A and B are shown apart, each in its own frame.
Chain A
Amino acid sequence: SYELTQPPSVSVSPGQTASITCSGDDLGNKYACWYQQKPGQSPVLVIYHDHKRPSGIPERFSGSNSGNTATLTISGTQAMDEAYYHCQAWDSSTPLFVFGTGTKLTVL
């Protein structure tokens, strides 16, 4: 079965750039999206179609997807960005809707 691997945890200082990776076989040829989830809350979509931001998501959130890796980048990280981040791959041909293993972002 298809798997998406994320680092369990990433730490960043306030104001710095955080990068969270999501690795899977031929992921660059699938649609990748990213969700933010804070404790006790439902997930919120922060990146779709590899690199697009939904309305209301700050510009500091960006994404890329190529080869076997999708990356979520948070520039000028703020304390409010501390959360779990989950990637998801969508592929209509397989079909595929799998989630990554999840990453806890800590803003120190």
Chain B
Amino acid sequence: EVQLVESGGGLIQPGGSLRLTCVASDFTVSSNYMSWVRQAPGKGLEWVSIIYSDGITTYYADSVKGRFTISRDNSKNTVYLQMNSLRVEDTAVYYCARAYDFWSGNTDWGHGTLVTVSS
């Protein structure tokens, strides 16, 4: 059964850093487009970042560009999101999601991990 399990969320002060982890089961992250999507409390979904199957191509939402970095470890079948210079407005549930291709949509999602940025 395909599974995505996120971890690494928590309470962090503004300006701090966190690294989110997404461990995949029953499929290979290196063969898919892996995204991070977040949802602030009571708000809609916001795409954050994506890493292509080539492992080199990455893109970021303007709201996180220069502060967040997406990466993956093929040997661990894991995707990461390094979040630096965190702001109060980064508070959200962060989901990891997988897509086969551009036409497939995000077919599988994790349960999410909550990041709270507050002093």
Max chain B CB contacts within 10 Å: which of A35, A42, A43, A49?
A42
Number of residues of chain A lying within 8 A (CB) of chain B: 26
CA distance A54 to B108 in the complex (A): 11
Give A45 Cβ to nearest chain B Cβ, in Å. 5
CB-CB < 8 A to A48: which residues of B?
Answer: 103-105, 107
A interface: dominant SS:
strand
A61 proximal to B (CB < 8 A): no
CA distance A1 to B61 in the complex (A): 10
Quick check: B103 and A97 within 8 Å, CB to CB? no
A-B contact pairs, 20 of them (CB 8 A): A33-B105, A35-B45, A42-B95, A42-B110, A42-B111, A42-B112, A43-B106, A48-B104, A48-B107, A86-B45, A88-B45, A88-B47, A90-B99, A90-B102, A90-B103, A97-B59, A98-B47, A99-B45, A99-B46, A102-B43
Contact surface of A with B, Cβ cutoff 8 Å: 1, 31, 33, 35, 37, 42-45, 47-49, 54, 84, 86, 88, 90-92, 95, 97-102
